[in-house]
Structure 1
């Protein structure tokens, strides 16, 4: 860091330029100072106002809250109507000193941000990732290279980038046409496929399918759940289904003292699914096991292939014994959920704090874990029928010994829908057996009538 500070002072105070008379010994004609063009004296960086731009702050107020905690002013860069999905009017999350509307003119937006002396740029939602990277590059601020943005935002581009670097990736087709997708499946003749959105920032669950009829139904279901821009059909991917265990690995990147990217894997989670394919639970993996190290090494390769140099990356990975780790999805935006925030805070990591730190200092912040064993499990409640949360049974599971967090949506007499998770519960303990015991209690209470409470 000291080297960076010295570099800033060298930029602020350049070598002194002697006047022409002192260098040549010749007299110079006096000039009218009032007639000379007036230029603003550059303000030293340590005196300049600390202003951060949050691009498309439509998901969570975490970035604005973190910059405010650090004493920075925030500017919201909002997307114009032409850049939003049809009929969308997203809510702005967070308190901002002022707003800048981006309607597609990059130069105009950059000019406004320069006028406000913006010194850090972050994406406030997946919709803002591409624009945030372009703005950071134009303002000469920390950020990823905009030329490689598609590799971080599109599954098709991700697979191509991995293949170019010789990294294992699933076979897939990127298209907007169902006919092309079905022709590709006939050519590949695989037993099972998966249909998913091409946009890595969209929270729509992939659908598993086998027959041509199931592929058509999955295509219609996923496509119908996606936002449309300008009346265009959204791009989807159809890929081979990988039946192995699945994991989630978080990382943070920044530049080292020599300017090269440095990557830190902060945590890895093992996912478990129900027989119907619903996510059941996520368990924190030990840092000392062989598999977490294999996953971490694979993620480091992925980070290089996707040209990530600054900020967070969330990788969803399948592991097959015969092929090893295979990337399913990489998102250049942190997970936004109360349960996820609680779990990562227990590990000494905060997604918004890490993103702000990377945007300000262009350095990766290493999490500091508490000593001793730590077991964390995120439990998703899974209603099998429409109903209402029972007050007393809900109290039973939220007051279990290892419960450290329950989502605010889990309230007595709250309505639930079949197949839709109403919220998560986080279990934390130094004893893995205690977590397993409380997990069994939660599932037993669900069967006893957790979703059969009185409506009034």
Structure 2
């Protein structure tokens, strides 16, 4: 690898995937500073960040122009988003201090999901039909005009499948809108507008990328196995790494690269969720940031793969090495099969034991379990794609053996044989209130 260049890097809102990025950048010699985009983090992030890799936590320095005045005196090389909530702030701040970032005129298209899909339509790319609504009556009226079911109701700028609902009737559209309008996003912002979209029927995929100066590299791509949950959207069951040379991966790559161009994503990472429809790939949405659901470095390495976070850190710290990678290929080249399996909780409860997780050691393809929950943790019905509960990594040369072990994990999880959870105590406590 090329020589490491010393750099000063600010990570904005490093609450989730920013933890992996901070670790990887620090390992490569970067001087890191953490910055908050809000005076107080939203409740879901109150646990804070891992401060270990940072030289300093700058806290909240005010709006972007105020923060820029302070950063200009610090000789900052890069400003990066450490979570979805930090994307727009980080890009605007990078623009103001003259650091590499994405195309500034399209900054809103990379967070506003309605404008995002509209930008893809303008480029002629396949995506859902949609409407931006201010009320449940507007949503119902649009659904009536569409006349095709199901439809999807979602917040304009939240994350992690928060309040995303698949609706099969006008009553369900109305109920989903009432629920979402009454709620706040995971970033503690009110939902003043919602999006109603046509349902994209087909298998779901994820494509992760790293870009520099408009040249994209696909770091990993996954088939997502999901289970639809009535009254909500879907439960993420597992990710299966795609063979990069497959026709599916190649088609997803071409579509995703075109979508990144349409959204002005030219520097940094992107996490894209797509459906393979009867007409080909179609974008669900893209985040101009790292993938959020579990990147265990050792498990990736066991499959002959680097994480998206490591590729991003290399692109910043050792650009000559990444230039050579891009000259050789536009995509990853793993050596073994890799699958991530996620937990699905059946309701609200408290974890009372974790000894059942030792069953995983019996599986021949088991490699690691990432970010397990300790005894005493309160859990909730799984209704989103956050990967709460950790991820189980299966790595092997034999894909069929991984599939067998994946089914065994699903069976154990459904029977409550991995995490021991007391659901009754929470239910009884709620009933007594």
State the TM-score, normalized to the length of structure 2: 0.81
- Cα 1:350–1:446 shift into 2, 3 Å: closer
2:115 is equivalent to residue 115 of structure 1? no
Counterpart of 2:267? 310
CA distance, structure 2, for counterparts of residue 431 and residue 86 of structure 1: 42
Which aligned pairs between 1:17-32 and structure 2 lie closer than 5 A? none
Do the aligned residues in 2 keep the contact of 1:317 with 1:326 (CA within 8 Å)? yes
CA distance, structure 2, for counterparts of residue 86 and residue 391 of structure 1: 26
What displacement does 1:362 show?
A: 6.8
Counterpart of 1:263? 216
What displacement does 1:360 show?
A: 5.1
Do the aligned residues in 1 keep the contact of 2:204 with 2:224 (CA within 8 Å)? yes
CA distance, structure 1, for counterparts of residue 98 and residue 181 of structure 2: 38
Do the aligned residues in 2 keep the contact of 1:406 with 1:423 (CA within 8 Å)? yes
2:285 is equivalent to residue 329 of structure 1? yes
2:358 is equivalent to residue 395 of structure 1? yes
What displacement does 1:298 show?
A: 0.6
1:444 to 401, 406, 411: 411
Do the aligned residues in 2 keep the contact of 1:133 with 1:143 (CA within 8 Å)? yes
Cα deviation, 1:91-127, whole Å, max 9, x if unaligned, reads 2432433344555443432221121111222112222
Counterpart of 1:338? 294
2:396 to 429, 434, 449: 429
Counterpart of 2:431? none
What displacement does 1:139 show?
A: 2.2
What displacement does 1:314 show?
A: 0.9
2:177 to 219, 228, 234: 219
CA distance, structure 2, for counterparts of residue 454 and residue 152 of structure 1: 39
2:194 is equivalent to residue 236 of structure 1? yes
Do the aligned residues in 2 keep the contact of 1:56 with 1:128 (CA within 8 Å)? yes
- Cα 1:221–1:340 shift into 2, 3 Å: farther
- Cα 1:447–1:332 shift into 2, 3 Å: closer
2:254 is equivalent to residue 301 of structure 1? no
Which aligned pairs between 1:6-21 and structure 2 lie closer than 5 A? none
Cα deviation, 1:328-361, whole Å, max 9, x if unaligned, reads 0101111234356565454532233333344456
* SS of equivalent residue, structure 1 residue 438: helix
What displacement does 1:449 show?
A: 4.5
CA distance, structure 2, for counterparts of residue 157 and residue 370 of structure 1: 30
Counterpart of 2:340? 378
Do the aligned residues in 1 keep the contact of 2:158 with 2:186 (CA within 8 Å)? no
CA distance, structure 1, for counterparts of residue 296 and residue 178 of structure 2: 30
Do the aligned residues in 2 keep the contact of 1:192 with 1:240 (CA within 8 Å)? yes
Do the aligned residues in 1 keep the contact of 2:149 with 2:167 (CA within 8 Å)? no
Counterpart of 1:26? none
CA distance, structure 1, for counterparts of residue 21 and residue 96 of structure 2: 21
What displacement does 1:382 show?
A: 2.6
CA distance, structure 1, for counterparts of residue 346 and residue 187 of structure 2: 34
* SS of equivalent residue, structure 1 residue 214: helix
What displacement does 1:161 show?
A: 0.8
Counterpart of 2:114? 156
Structure 2: which 5+ residue stretches go unaligned? 423-433
State the TM-score, normalized to the length of structure 1: 0.77
The structure showing larger relative contact order (alpha-carbon pairs under 8 Å, at least 6 residues apart) is 2
- Cα 1:361–1:316 shift into 2, 3 Å: same
Structure 1: which 5+ residue stretches go unaligned? 6-45, 256-260
What displacement does 1:317 show?
A: 0.5
Do the aligned residues in 1 keep the contact of 2:25 with 2:313 (CA within 8 Å)? yes
Q: How many residues align?
A: 404
CA distance, structure 2, for counterparts of residue 433 and residue 61 of structure 1: 33
Do the aligned residues in 2 keep the contact of 1:416 with 1:451 (CA within 8 Å)? no
2:5 is equivalent to residue 63 of structure 1? no
Which aligned pairs between 1:99-138 and structure 2 lie closer than 5 A? 99-102=57-60, 104-138=62-96
Over aligned residue pairs, what C-alpha RMSD do you find? 3.5
Counterpart of 1:273? 226
CA distance, structure 1, for counterparts of residue 284 and residue 403 of structure 2: 28
CA distance, structure 2, for counterparts of residue 448 and residue 200 of structure 1: 32
